[in-house]
Amino acid sequence: MHEELENFERNHVWDLVEPPPKCRPIGTKWVFKYKQGENGMVKEGIDYEETFAPVAHLEAIRILLAFAASKGFKMQQMDVMSSFLNGFIEEEVYVRQPPGFESARFPDRVYKLKKALYGLKQAPKAWYARLKSFLLKSGFVIGSVDKTLFLLSRGGDTLIVQIYVDDIIFGGSSHALVSSFAEQMSSEFEMSLMGELLFFLGLQIKQGLNSTVVHQAKYTRNILKKFEMGDSKPMTTPSPNGEAVDHKEFRGMIGSLLYLTATRPNTQFAVCLCARYHASPRTSHRQAVKRIFRYLKFTPELGFWYSSGSSLFLRGFSDADHAGCQIDRKSTSSTCQLLGTSLVSWSSRKQASLLLLWMKDTLSDFGLNFGKIPLLVDSTSAISVAKNPVLHSRTKHIDVRFHFLRDHYEKGDIDLVHVVSANQLADIFTKPLEFDAFTRLRGELGVEGVDNALIKGEIESQWTGLIALLV
């Protein structure tokens, strides 16, 4: 508590003043909570609160990690201590003196804030504005799409910085540039330099010499324990071939599973199917959710494998299970987007969506520019509708997705390409599959066991080196 108040003094957060007429000061209280690392140990010097600030999408984090792995960047992590105390506020705000630390001489006075405190609605915005201003003055360029991405180019070298409130990950092509940035941040803010990126937003990250693996093994074990599924019988696939889902804890289970899909796309279809029943779950539905947990027990450490040997080209797959929902006869549409061989974004939902164009704009900030992006579809009819304007008058009842695709096809943004159903990677997001098909598609999406993925990266590197010597 003393250390926290000393931070306030060093940062000139407030002034003790007489309360003005009709002043209604905000109350204060102490909050004691710990943040834990991937091994369950308490992380020292890390602020607990990190809500209501501009934050990066998980797709953006995966794009950054895939790009860094391809370029051989070693990503680092730092944390700003008492970050919200650095943000200036424009409003006139008064707060009561902290409980137990009232002034003996002026017990009736209040603090007039000059900077933000945790709990103020404007605090995250004020901190982001302060950090953004500092980075722009330091020569960084902000992302045109992702406003939490900052890039610096200097002498042919590149430095990439991604912020998530007070957590900052960064890496670049030059060790000197990376070290200089760390020193620059430490001179401006009170920083906790945490070294190599290992644990971020609940994602565990292992950076090998030639690959990066992203997984959520710790989170998987935690939710298995939370919902008393730790001793359950493992299952080899998550989908129960049409069974639905249920019960009082149902929504909590679904919420936990939805976050796990950040690194487990192979569970996306089953989890989203179950989530459709959250408004009115029935007793028969819970069994389907339990099957997903039993599958997690069978595969607790699956994650993404991002290879340094992956070339940076952008492509997407799109699939639909036409009228597959037995309740409303609506289709389940799915898409997945890959940067080289690295899966970075996917969806499985009733309404259609296309993230390729967003990704195209985002990757332009990394210096990657693409012409026509191939979108692989296994339905020749869907391709015909999207390509052929003659069919427009006959297809007014068809979802606007095809007309949206036609516009961008004609502009040259995307190229609709037919792919045989056996090679349609998006199949895993639209329907339950047999074990062999499920595991094959899971592997082609780059979802591997942590140890296997790192070994795979080493083998790939050695094989590439051997070919180079032979050539």
Q: In the structure, what pLDDT confidence band is assigned to residue 378 with cuts at 50, 70 and 90?
A: confident
Contact between residue 304 and residue 343 where contact means Cβ atoms under 8 Å apart:
yes
Reduced to 3 states (helix: H, G, I; strand: E, B; else coil), residue 215 is: strand
Q: How many CB atoms lie within 10 A of CB 76?
A: 20
- Give the global pTM: 0.74
DSSP β-ladder status, 110-113 and 141-142? unpaired
**In the 8-state DSSP scheme, what is residue 414?**
E
b or e along 431-451 (b: 16 or more beta carbons within 10 Å of the residue's beta carbon)?
A: bbbeeeebbebbeebbbbbbe
Mean pLDDT on 403-422: 78
Strand partners, 149: 162
Could you report the per-residue pLDDT of 332-350, keeping only the tens digit for each? 778 889 998 899 988 877 6
Could you report the per-residue pLDDT of 155-170, keeping only the tens digit for each? 889 999 999 877 899 9
Q: In the structure, what pLDDT confidence band is assigned to residue 466 with cuts at 50, 70 and 90?
A: very low
Q: Quick one: pLDDT at residue 50?
A: 36
Structural domain spans, the chain: 2-201, 223-302, 306-444
CA distance 165 to 97: 26
Q: Which two tokens stand for residue 286?
A: 């819970």
Q: Quick one: pLDDT at residue 152?
A: 96
CA distance 394 to 382: 14
DSSP string, 37-92: -TTSPBPTT--S---SS----HHHHHHHHHHHHHHT---EEEEETTGGGG-B--S-
Closest listed residue to residue 302, CA positions, set 241, 234, 250? 234
Mean pLDDT on 250-257: 90
Could you report the per-residue pLDDT of 72-95, keeping only the tens digit for each? 999 999 988 766 667 777 778 888
The topology under which CATH files domain 306-444 is Nucleotidyltransferase; domain 5 (3.30.420)
Mean pLDDT on 168-185: 94
If 0-12 CB within 10 Å is exposed, 13-18 middle and 19+ buried, where does residue 310 land?
buried
Compare 406 and 422 and report the one with higher pLDDT.
422
Mean pLDDT on 193-206: 90
Q: Which two tokens stand for residue 58?
A: 């998980």
Reduced to 3 states (helix: H, G, I; strand: E, B; else coil), residue 149 is: strand
Phi, psi of 422 (to 5 degrees): -65, -25
Contact between residue 427 and residue 178 where contact means Cβ atoms under 8 Å apart:
no
Q: What contacts 349, CB < 8 A, 6 or more positions away?
A: 272, 332, 333, 334
Q: Quick one: pLDDT at residue 149?
A: 94
Half-sphere exposure of 135 (CA within 13 A, CB side): 25
CA distance 239 to 248: 21
Q: Quick one: pLDDT at residue 215?
A: 92
Compare 43 and 103 and report the one with higher pLDDT.
103
Mean pLDDT on 374-401: 64
Q: In the structure, what pLDDT confidence band is assigned to residue 407 with cuts at 50, 70 and 90?
A: confident
Q: Quick one: pLDDT at residue 179?
A: 94
